[in-house]
Structure 1
Amino acid sequence: MTVKSRAKSRSIEDILPLSPLQEGLVFHSVYDEQGVDIYTVQLVFDIEGSLDADRLRTAAQALVRRHTNLRAGFRQRKSGDWVQVVLADAPLVWRRHDLSALDGSERPAAAERIVAADRAVRFDMGRPPLVRFTLITLGPDRHRLVLAVHHAVLDGWSLPVVLRELMHLYVARGDASALPRLRPYRDYLAWIAGRDRGASLAAWREAFAGFDEPATVIPAVKDRAPVIPGKVEFSVPAAASARLTERARELGVTLNSVVQGAWGLVLSRLLGRDDVVFGVTVSGRPADLDGVEDMVGLFINTLPLRLTLNDRESLGDLLVRLQSEQSRLLEHQYVGLAEIQRAVGAGELFDTSMVFENYPLDSAGLDDSADVGGLRLASAQSRSAMHYTYGLVAHPGDQLKFRLDYQPDLIDRADAEAVAERLVRVLGAVVGDPSVPVGQVEVLSEAERGWVLDEWIDTAREVSVRSLPELFEEQVARSPEALAAGSLTYGELNARANRLARALVELGAGPERFVAVRLPRSADLVVALLAVLKSGAAYVPVDPEYPAERVAVILEDAAPALVIDEGWLAQVDTSGHGDSDLGPVDLSSPAYVIFTSGSTGRPKGVVVEHRSVGAYVG
């Protein structure tokens, strides 16, 4: 071993695997290193009194030295696996800003700019510590402390512990000897490694039996850069919050279950389906691990919650059933989301999430009267975000408060505000009468109902009933050189479809016959669908991303004469076929068969005739 390698080994205290959620957070952080890292969390609190800045800096250094997670960084091995590397000693990142010379009216805005700029600074995931401190002096006895930390090393449940210890270390001038002995984070990782993973994955597969269609509000956008979410803040009035808490107690469920059920119902109406999934964040701290309540690190996990809805079931019974179903999964909540999705075999399951944050910061002694070493901690707030299309955060208390994060490049603020109002409306229904059937719970506002029942369905007009091939060929005649699909013009697309249609007819395609089309979104897909229609047959779309079991059920039920996929297209020879139009098709024949998930979760086919397609397009 060289002198350099010995020094390097002495600087590393430990090398650890990643917890399930750490894997996801590290992926999101390194996926786009140029964009905003939304998983940089800030804790901001005001301090009143005669503060000794050097003494506070010493306390911060002692805090980092005390906790292995605050000295950890993330690096990728040659195998591709990620590990967290704990340094024996990590340099404190400490910044100071003195705004006391500014006019009093200018200081708040200047301080807010510093806080916002600090949040925008990315951490280098491979260079610990992934925590930094910024002290802003607003006056002789007024200060603001900003603690920024990457979510991969610290969760919200750890924040009260961190604050409590930081203040203790300030009073003790950095002496940690009086603090309780820490249980190392590696014990938690060892606890995870000791679980029966096979049994847990079996439990998750059972919970998602029959589920094969993601519950997403917005389809995934490839190569989309992360953005800072927009936020809608709202609340339930104090009196109604008290009644809601009492109602939960009467039903024998937690307030968390009530909010989960209400969110599931809102999501069900938003997606128009009775089988929904959304992410939920669980604390992840195992009760059988002694000392876990005082450990600092990332223990939380984001897991899929599946909720099926029956219009005839009462709202109260829905909440009771939801809590019972989730209770059966409690001992399996350590499994990572990616592993669950692989086991379930449905790919991405959801793009909305919710978290019930029941870790008030005043549990660290940060109420309005807290006095630490001659200082008064006037307030504390945490700033965090999620990458989901919608991310709901609930804060219980005398008044139930919410924050709804939304992706502003995908969702309009007005739509997010409408979703927030619907949630409050459903919670009001729980308070009002939990015996009401789920199907009778009014989610929409009066204005929204008016749009749906009056404006949106007022679509009566005269239409021309012709087949889709005829309508397409008319468009070809109007603008043959215009782009139609990818780089294909309308003329080129029509010629390719005609040649392929003639090949299909030779292979048995025609009226009352089905042809399955299993192709990714591309110009080839458009050519294939149009060719099937021109042949007189009906197409059966099959998403290549569907699980094998779902594909097998669809093909067995539809019994297609042919299956068009990428391999078939590469082999079929259409060069000997003419590219002129084939002539009209029978309007009474099927045009396509679309398969959806029925109430059992199994695919169910719906046949659409050419007559309906022509009327719709015309």
Structure 2
Amino acid sequence: MSSFKRDQVQDMYYLSPMQEGMLFHTLHHQEKGFYVEQMDMNVKGTLRHDLLEKSMNVIVERYDIFRTVFLHEKVKRPVQVVLKKRPFTLDVVDMQNLSEDEQLVRLETFKQQDRLRGFDLSKDALMRATVFQTGPASYRWIWSYHHILLDGWCFGLVVQELFAIYHALLHDIPYKLEPVKPYKEYIQWLEKQDKQASLQYWQQSLAGFDGQSTFKEQRKQTNEHELGELEWSMSKGETAALSELAFQQNATLSSVLQSVWSILLSRYQRSNDVLFGTVVSGRPADLAGVDRMVGLFINVIPRRIQLTDDMTFRSLLSETQQQSLAAEPHQYIPIYDIQAKTGHQPLIDHIVVFENVPAAKKDEQEARLGFTVENMNVYEKSNYDLNLLASPGEQLQLKLAFNKKAFDPQFVQRLKEQLSLLMSEAIKHPDQSVHTFTLVTKQEKQLILEEWNAPELEHDQLYLSKWFEHNVRKQPNAVALSAGEHTMTYAELNEQANRLARHLQKNGVVHQTVIAILAGRTPELIVSLLAVLKAGAIYVPIDPDYPESRIQYMLKDSGATHLLTHSSFIGQVKALAFDGKYLFADDQEISLMSSENLPLEAGLHDTAYIMYTSGTTGQPKGIMTTHSNIARVVKNTNYLTISETDTLLSLSNSVFDGFTFDVYGALLNGAKLVLPKKETILNMGELTGLIKRENISVMFVPTALFNLLVDEETDWMRSVRKVLFGGERASVQHVRKAFAVMGKGRLINVYGPTESTVFATYYPVDEALPMEARSIPIGKPLNQTGAYILSQHRQLQPIGMVGELCLSGKGLAKGYLNRPDLTKQAFIAHPFAAGERLYRTGDLAYFRTDGLIEYAGRVDDQVKIRGHRIELTEIEAHLLMHPGVKQVALIADQHNTQHTRLLAYMTCEEEWKDKLDVIKSGLKEKLPAYMQPHDLIRLERMPLTPNGKVDKRQLPKPKVPQGNRHVKLPVNEIEQKLLVMWREVLEREDISTVDHFFELGGHSLKAMSLLSKMSKEFDVQMPIHLLFETPTIEAISRYIQQQDQEAAGYLVFNESQTPTVFALPPLPGYGFIYQEAAKTLDGVRLIAFDFIEADHRITQYVQHIQHLQPEGPLTLMGYSGGCYLAFELVQSLEQAGRTVEKVIMIDSYKKIGESDLEGRSIDEDIAAIVHQSRQSELAQAELIQDELAQKTRAYYETFVKGVNQGEIQADIDFIQSEEHIAIPDWMESWEAATTGAYRQYQGYGQHADMFKNKECAARNAQLIKEIVHHKNREIVL
């Protein structure tokens, strides 16, 4: 069992739970020195080494724990073995000959080596000591032991007894020590406790706790450890005041410390429910003699404190003390058992320790011992990255011990200052709500309010259209707008906007009339926006792709009296049953209006537009934005300069406020606005090409699209002067990649809710991101904007502490249309500027020490997905309207670092349990595509918290689709490759080749990513509409094959069938002539060649056939002029050693001479063939007319001059049309052209109709199928 003999062993017993934990961590932790406690004592006076060693040996003999080793191998459960003897040797080193600096270096080296040396728990003496003599009357005493032996309280007791023994030996008098009981009795006491009852206590006291981690924004993820310590003390007056406060509430000073710490945690976590670990003495009062026992008694237990909104410090202190008393009978339970019982892993991540350790006074020591211990530095390596330790005395001593690898010392310094502030607040205001206690120092307050929210830069106060008209006068012929093939100068755009504005006024539009604009991404959209503003009205942008019910709601809620659109949307808008007046931007009457500028019809603080965002009530809410709001973000800004030389690219949807920046950022600064179609934006290749072609210099890109563009390629960035990205949390990986290409000052991370008009803060990426960077700051406020971080109780939060980001300034919208209740909640009185307003963003953030703001999440259920702001409660409300839905819970699942998906969990009525697809389909009629859940997941019951609320943490991740779903697997290599791509893009495994891309959770950005991947993999151009028209793997596979085949000059019909027939085309030379016949040719793979225009066409046909059917007998077919090609091809194949079983010749004969045109010219015949081909639906669908004429000429000239010579070995099956045309002189029958069999059959239809007419094509195909499969058929003699 060990290296010790039985007669050396005095006793053996199990470990306490805390000892077991320390044993486990010591054995499994890679670092040496784990749980090594090291005391470094500075001794002044005369120290007798020999007496100290004797004294320490007395202690070792007196207490079993110092003669104990710990065994874990070859035993069912770890045990501690007490040895009868364990002599102790004190090491002594004389350093008096060294200088003071040399002594310090040697001491520090020794201490580090001593710690790293650690202890072998199974055989070493687990305590050692060394005395260094540094002078005639000075020493450094280094005393180390493993924490598994004893705790701090015991160490104090041991030191007291050690000095008593030393004193007796020094004065040669007998020492008297009280009898002690062995640590074993404590282990026996533990075994007798009702563990289940105690676990039940902990389960009840921790019920409903949400398991938040502390200081998560400040903590760095690391496996390394470097001890840092920050010590300070409260003044005597403060210590006395805290003690008096504790006395008044019948509480301990430890409870005071825990209460103050809970306030600090509450502020950092933005929660009234906080939890931390606290170290308890662990000495049960009902165990006799426990006060003199030495061993490891301490335990770490959770301390949960729940504050209320109006809780005073006195009531908090009383509550904390009551909790401490209630936990006493159960504080022996190890933390890992509590964690297992409550389901929290891990439960605590830091501890608070109140060290009430007995200590002797210095003057008493010197009188009794002849020396004093001047100070004692304790090194202990904790399992936690942060600990708060306190020691009582005349002055309360406090220490923050922390891992320097996990926490920045600056942050720990702020913790110290905040803790001190709270102690002071508790003394001054014990009867005041703890939520009013300040945590901000005067210096911090000055920084935040005066330096980081600097005086505003003003801009000229002009109405928006006047800014625009100023640029029209300045540069009338400069290009203002480029939209596809259309461009407009500033003068042209102004004239059209003026005409439309007058048309609006003629139709009843007056000052602040509300006009809904439903338009696509066309020049008319920009004209309409300007016209509404020129008319002094308000516009409401509406996406034509929105569900009808949502558009109807917006029209009604906004109070729109006019709907301005384009005639191409007439069917859609008429279906809306709109009560107001319909106006069309392409109405011919508009051209008759005056193009002169209109007189000013509005003021700076008039509403310019109403923009709808997702709402918590189940319906969107309209935000009223003024002309002044818009001017603030595009004129005289501190984050970006735009001039006449710039070209801005608009990528935002007109219903989102990024479009405000695009349009007015360009037109109010004399720049050129590029407005691409939606299809161009969704095609990565086209979009990057457009950026280069248009020489885009400034562009705002929603973050999700920015990430896709960076992944696609980085070459497009090289010429862009400024790239702004925002809308959701930025990706460090993508910003780092973009910075490597663009360099300093060209990338800007922007942030801002619609209520503060587009952008509120900005962060220019001016340096490479450090490797440890976890996020991109949202930066500092725009000019004329203030940014503040407030607590839940609207207290200013200190640097580094998360709170709600609140905004002020000229960007703040008027409020929410028709919702004074919501406006009052969101737009509050400015606490630091009388008469001003603050907008509560609902976003969590904190100030960094450099004044930059870091985003830290949301206070509510609002999420941002692909730049769209979504209230989860709005989607839940719509789902709950369905009669089959009982309960709903939505979450935004961060499926990986790049993508967030909406998951809807629900319980359903019995008859709807298997109809989730119907429920999902109904949701599409009410909500836009970006608000559709990725999955609907049916649950039998919702997981609930003890408070009866849905416990979203317990909602299961989706595994497989609901119901018995058949998954069709890939049937070829293309489908297999596509499946891999779909799984990667859609982030799910359960994909069938017939699944609909968008029903699997696909959306526009994922479509862009998928199309880009497919284009690169297959080297095929993939238009964006492909996924909308053919949204399955199976269909896309067919498209790719068709593209490959068209590029190669052939089409494959019935791909998976056998055998194969290779068909040569008639004039004009396209294989799609056989498309209709192929539908009947089931059981036959038909490969239909186009005419190859190159002179070596027969060689190319042979190569294709060798690739498409590398072995086995071949079957060929020709129709009309294709018979000539088929004969030539069979000859070449047979010469190449291939066996051609048969060739089917359809209504044409062997050419034995050049064609007789009977007086016609080749050009006349070609023109006739081309004209006839143009009448074909197939030709209209597939061909470009120039290509048709070119191929026809090449084929006809080849056919006219061509001659079939010699014979073939293959059987010839001849099919004759019903026309029975006489054989011309320059042709003859196929019968003599083969050494094999010749068979002749009656076909169907006139010559030209055999494969064009559907009925004829089907009947002829049936005949061909029978010939191929050797079925009996009546031969025409």
TM-score, normalised relative to structure 2: 0.39
Match of 2:712 among 480, 485, 489: 480
- Please give the alpha-carbon distance, in whole angstroms, between the structure 1 residues aligned to 2:64 and 2:936: 53
Match of 2:129 among 123, 130, 133: 133
Q: CA deviation at 1:423?
A: 0.8
Deviations 1:527-567 (A, max 9, x none): 6738999775236999xxxx97659988788999x962389
Please state whether the residue corresponding to 1:101 is helix, strand or coil. coil
Number of aligned residue pairs: give it.
550
Greater RCO (Cα-Cα under 8 Å, separation 6 or more)? 1
Hey, what does 1:10 align to over in structure 2?
A: 7
Hey, what does 2:18 align to over in structure 1?
A: 21
Given the superposition, is the C-alpha separation of residues 374 and 93 from structure 1 closer, same or farther in structure 2, using an over 3 Å criterion?
A: closer
Hey, what does 2:141 align to over in structure 1?
A: 145
- Please give the alpha-carbon distance, in whole angstroms, between the structure 1 residues aligned to 2:260 and 2:876: 49
- Please give the alpha-carbon distance, in whole angstroms, between the structure 2 residues aligned to 1:381 and 1:472: 56
Q: CA deviation at 1:177?
A: 8.0
Are 1:464 and 2:658 counterparts? yes
Hey, what does 1:573 align to over in structure 2?
A: 991
Residue type at the aligned position of 2:289: G
Given the superposition, is the C-alpha separation of residues 539 and 249 from structure 1 closer, same or farther in structure 2, using an over 3 Å criterion?
A: farther
Please state whether the residue corresponding to 2:712 is helix, strand or coil. coil
CA contact (8 A) 2:42 2:376 kept: no
Deviations 1:291-347 (A, max 9, x none): 212211111111110011113111111111111122111111111111111112222
Are 1:159 and 2:159 counterparts? no
Residue type at the aligned position of 1:564: P
Deviations 1:459-486 (A, max 9, x none): 996852799997534542443269x999
- Please give the alpha-carbon distance, in whole angstroms, between the structure 1 residues aligned to 2:158 and 2:356: 16
CA contact (8 A) 1:137 1:144 kept: yes
Q: In the TM superposition, what are the counterparts of 1:347-386 in structure 2 within 5 Å?
A: 347-362=345-360, 367-371=362-366, 375-385=370-380, 386=382
Given the superposition, is the C-alpha separation of residues 212 and 511 from structure 1 closer, same or farther in structure 2, using an over 3 Å criterion?
A: closer
Deviations 1:391-443 (A, max 9, x none): 10011111111100122112111111111111111111121120011221112
- Please give the alpha-carbon distance, in whole angstroms, between the structure 2 residues aligned to 1:372 and 1:541: 80
Deviations 1:1-58 (A, max 9, x none): xxx9996222333332222222332233222233552x21122334444443233223
Hey, what does 1:396 align to over in structure 2?
A: 392
Hey, what does 1:498 align to over in structure 2?
A: none
Residue type at the aligned position of 2:711: S
Please state whether the residue corresponding to 2:69 is helix, strand or coil. strand
CA contact (8 A) 2:902 2:932 kept: no
Please state whether the residue corresponding to 1:85 is helix, strand or coil. strand
CA contact (8 A) 2:246 2:253 kept: yes
Are 1:244 and 2:245 counterparts? no
Hey, what does 1:419 align to over in structure 2?
A: 415
- Please give the alpha-carbon distance, in whole angstroms, between the structure 1 residues aligned to 2:168 and 2:83: 25
- Please give the alpha-carbon distance, in whole angstroms, between the structure 2 residues aligned to 1:226 and 1:126: 26
- Please give the alpha-carbon distance, in whole angstroms, between the structure 2 residues aligned to 1:195 and 1:237: 43
Deviations 1:470-523 (A, max 9, x none): 7534542443269x9999xx9xxxxxxxxxxxxxxxxxx99966897798x875
Please state whether the residue corresponding to 1:303 is helix, strand or coil. strand
Residue type at the aligned position of 2:239: S
Hey, what does 2:1112 align to over in structure 1?
A: none
Please state whether the residue corresponding to 2:5 is helix, strand or coil. helix
The answer to which of 348-357 and 4-13 deviates more is 4-13
Given the superposition, is the C-alpha separation of residues 281 and 531 from structure 1 closer, same or farther in structure 2, using an over 3 Å criterion?
A: closer
The answer to which of 408-417 and 107-116 deviates more is 107-116
- Please give the alpha-carbon distance, in whole angstroms, between the structure 1 residues aligned to 2:898 and 2:349: 28
Hey, what does 1:90 align to over in structure 2?
A: 86
Match of 2:291 among 268, 290, 293: 293
Please state whether the residue corresponding to 1:280 is helix, strand or coil. strand
Given the superposition, is the C-alpha separation of residues 450 and 84 from structure 1 closer, same or farther in structure 2, using an over 3 Å criterion?
A: farther
Hey, what does 1:234 align to over in structure 2?
A: 232
Deviations 1:111-161 (A, max 9, x none): 454344433432223233211111111233332322111111111101122
Hey, what does 1:42 align to over in structure 2?
A: 38
Given the superposition, is the C-alpha separation of residues 14 and 480 from structure 1 closer, same or farther in structure 2, using an over 3 Å criterion?
A: farther
Hey, what does 2:306 align to over in structure 1?
A: 308
Given the superposition, is the C-alpha separation of residues 578 and 557 from structure 1 closer, same or farther in structure 2, using an over 3 Å criterion?
A: closer
Match of 1:346 among 329, 344, 347: 344
TM-score, normalised relative to structure 1: 0.77
Q: Which runs of no fewer than 5 residues in structure 1 stay unpaired?
A: 491-508, 586-618
Please state whether the residue corresponding to 2:658 is helix, strand or coil. coil
The answer to which of 471-480 and 229-238 deviates more is 471-480
Hey, what does 1:193 align to over in structure 2?
A: 191
Given the superposition, is the C-alpha separation of residues 479 and 142 from structure 1 closer, same or farther in structure 2, using an over 3 Å criterion?
A: closer
Residue type at the aligned position of 1:165: E
The answer to which of 20-29 and 341-350 deviates more is 20-29
CA contact (8 A) 1:395 1:402 kept: yes
Deviations 1:77-119 (A, max 9, x none): 4577433233333353542211112235654554454344433
Given the superposition, is the C-alpha separation of residues 122 and 539 from structure 1 closer, same or farther in structure 2, using an over 3 Å criterion?
A: farther
Q: In the TM superposition, what are the counterparts of 1:581-596 in structure 2 within 5 Å?
A: 582-583=1003-1004
CA contact (8 A) 1:517 1:565 kept: no
Hey, what does 1:206 align to over in structure 2?
A: 204
Residue type at the aligned position of 2:200: A
Given the superposition, is the C-alpha separation of residues 208 and 177 from structure 1 closer, same or farther in structure 2, using an over 3 Å criterion?
A: same
Residue type at the aligned position of 1:129: A
Q: Which runs of no fewer than 5 residues in structure 2 stay unpaired?
A: 457-631, 635-656, 661-677, 683-701, 715-730, 738-874, 880-887, 905-927, 963-986, 1007-1277
Are 1:318 and 2:316 counterparts? yes
CA contact (8 A) 2:891 2:903 kept: no
Are 1:537 and 2:731 counterparts? no
Given the superposition, is the C-alpha separation of residues 51 and 477 from structure 1 closer, same or farther in structure 2, using an over 3 Å criterion?
A: closer
- Please give the alpha-carbon distance, in whole angstroms, between the structure 1 residues aligned to 2:237 and 2:117: 41
Given the superposition, is the C-alpha separation of residues 274 and 188 from structure 1 closer, same or farther in structure 2, using an over 3 Å criterion?
A: same
CA contact (8 A) 1:511 1:537 kept: no
CA contact (8 A) 2:366 2:372 kept: yes
Hey, what does 1:493 align to over in structure 2?
A: none
- Please give the alpha-carbon distance, in whole angstroms, between the structure 2 residues aligned to 1:309 and 1:454: 33
Match of 1:182 among 180, 183, 191: 180
Q: Aligned-pair RMSD on alpha carbons?
A: 4.3
Hey, what does 2:646 align to over in structure 1?
A: none
Given the superposition, is the C-alpha separation of residues 22 and 228 from structure 1 closer, same or farther in structure 2, using an over 3 Å criterion?
A: farther
CA contact (8 A) 1:49 1:376 kept: yes
Deviations 1:187-216 (A, max 9, x none): 011111111111111111121121132343
CA contact (8 A) 2:220 2:406 kept: no
- Please give the alpha-carbon distance, in whole angstroms, between the structure 1 residues aligned to 2:953 and 2:243: 51
Hey, what does 2:958 align to over in structure 1?
A: 564
- Please give the alpha-carbon distance, in whole angstroms, between the structure 2 residues aligned to 1:105 and 1:426: 41
The answer to which of 527-536 and 62-71 deviates more is 527-536
Which has the greater radius of gyration? Answer: 2
Match of 2:279 among 270, 277, 281: 281
